[in-house]
Amino acid sequence: MDAGSLNSYSNLKGQSRCPLQEQLLQRKNSKENMDRFIPNRSAMDFDYAHYMLTDGRKIKENQTVCSPAREAYRKQLAETLNMNRTRILAFKNKPPAPVELFPTEHSTASAHPTKSAKPRRHIPQSSERTLDAPDLVDDFYLNLLDWGSSNVLAIALGNTVYLWDASDSSTSELVTVDDENGPVTSVSWAPDGRHIAIGLNNSEVQLWDSASNRQLRTLRGCHRSRVGSMAWNNHILTTGGMDGQIVNNDVRIRSHIVETYRGHEQEVCGLKWSASGQQLASGGNDNVVHIWDRSMASSNSPTQWLHRLEEHTSAVKALAWCPFQSNLLATGGGGGDRTIKFWNTHTGACLNSVDTGSQVCSLLWSKNERELLSSHGFTQNQLTLWKYPSMVKMAELTGHTSRVLYMAQSPDGCTVASAAGDETLRFWNVFGVPEVAKTAPKVNREPFSHLNRIR
């Protein structure tokens, strides 16, 4: 069980480093490290060497009396018999001359183009922007940050929900709830980027139109206590409460409760629908992850889970569906677990488990690369970028002085916003700018197309 509120600070000691030292070793005496030239006997012609040391010299002395015809004959004979060499000792074999079977401009590289090495992406180690977030609730089980498809960031600070427009950096206040209803315990944008759901401490959920700044309706009767997690699936708003229940609400109809999932014994602190909308992942303070299948949902009785995953040893809030493999789910455990686990949601098998060394608060997949970003608590309060599937650390981003409880990704997938118990909101350009799709060049598949045709 992870503590709801915890302030932790790291004591980092700087390591003194010696100045750069000369790495070259000096020669002890003049007889050491002297060059030795060892001839390559396998490349030597001893008969030719003996001939050049004896009879070859006599021939050179008598060349002046030779007629022009005899001299031309001698040169031709020497060239034919490879006797125009001037060196006697051979120190290495000469590489054979390359044979050009085709014209140089049409080499095999054109038939099999080599893929150019992708330049390594620069990952800034510091946040590009930092905003104050006073009264941000330092609670592991809540979800107080979300970035909508209209490029507007929503954050709950105490009893108030603020909207920050990333296009012009403007800030507006959406709603402030009364003390008897608050604080706000979760926020979640609808897929249209205009409507937003606000979960409250009194078990209610409010639906707001951000364009007109107007409340549309209040969902009641879903839970008996605070609503700490929410997730949208088209017009279905799924809510998870401290009572351990998960409820599907159809926001279009008056009787909004259409399905109920029961399986968690403690608070539901993480909810994520898969991209297809067929599977729902839920994580709870009971250290359990459930996979629910929409096709098995029933409005008459509580729905049975598809998989119950019990390998984590602490609360599971961090959930992230892989964007390039539909049945791959990443989950992160709290302070007593500290692992990121990967699951095949079709079979329920655990594919890999990585010990991160600290509490895992949130997980985000890159939309452009095979990379995973995790946020952590004590001791470094860092964001860690991992390469998947090797899980090699690509970068560690530090700056927060308290655990990084919440993360949200911009619609283009490039920027990540993080909010921490230090009451700051930071923006990181961690995933980089996606490459512009290039039109593939037309490939002429006909062999020897560069050669003239025989007619």
d(CA 236, CA 255): 13
Residue 172: per-residue pLDDT: 95
Residue 38: per-residue pLDDT: 55
**3-class secondary structure, 55:** helix
Residue 288: per-residue pLDDT: 98
Residue 92: per-residue pLDDT: 58
Helix (H) or strand (E) holding 57: helix 55-61
pLDDT in tens, the chain (455 residues): 666 553 433 343 343 333 312 223 343 444 444 455 556 666 666 676 676 677 655 555 555 556 777 777 777 777 776 665 555 555 555 666 666 555 554 444 444 555 566 678 899 999 999 999 999 999 999 999 999 999 999 999 999 999 999 999 999 999 999 999 999 999 999 999 999 999 999 999 999 999 999 999 999 999 999 999 999 999 999 999 999 999 999 999 999 999 999 999 999 999 999 999 999 999 999 999 999 998 887 666 677 899 999 999 999 999 999 999 999 999 999 999 999 999 999 999 999 999 999 999 999 999 999 999 999 999 999 999 999 999 999 999 999 999 999 999 999 999 999 999 999 999 999 998 766 543 444 444 444 444 444 33
Q: Which CATH number fits domain 131-428: 2.130.10.10, 3.40.1550.10, 3.30.470.20, 3.40.250.10?
A: 2.130.10.10
Q: Please state the φ and ψ torsions of residue 294, each to the nearest 5 degrees.
A: -65, -30
Helix (H) or strand (E) holding 74: helix 68-80
Q: Provide the residue type at 375 as one letter.
A: S
d(CA 241, CA 257): 14
Predicted TM-score (pTM) of this structure = 0.72
Are 373 and 418 in contact, with CB atoms under 8 Å apart?
A: no
**3-class secondary structure, 278:** coil
Residue 433: per-residue pLDDT: 77
Q: Provide the residue type at 362 as one letter.
A: S
Residue 228: per-residue pLDDT: 97
d(CA 188, CA 186): 7
Q: How many secondary structure helices (H) and strands (E) does the chain include?
A: 4, 28
Q: Please state the φ and ψ torsions of residue 146, each to the nearest 5 degrees.
A: -155, 145
Are 315 and 1 in contact, with CB atoms under 8 Å apart?
A: yes
Whether the bond into 95 is cis, omega within 30 of 0: no
For 78, the token pair is 């020497």
Q: Which residue has the tokens 């650390």?
A: 393
Q: Please state the φ and ψ torsions of residue 449, each to the nearest 5 degrees.
A: -70, -15
Are 294 and 277 in contact, with CB atoms under 8 Å apart?
A: yes
d(CA 62, CA 41): 31
> Which among 238, 239, 207 is positioned nearest to 226, based on CA atoms?
239
**3-class secondary structure, 108:** helix
Residue 414: per-residue pLDDT: 95
Question: How is the chain split into domains, by residue range?
Answer: 131-428
Residue 27: per-residue pLDDT: 39
Helix (H) or strand (E) holding 354: strand 349-355
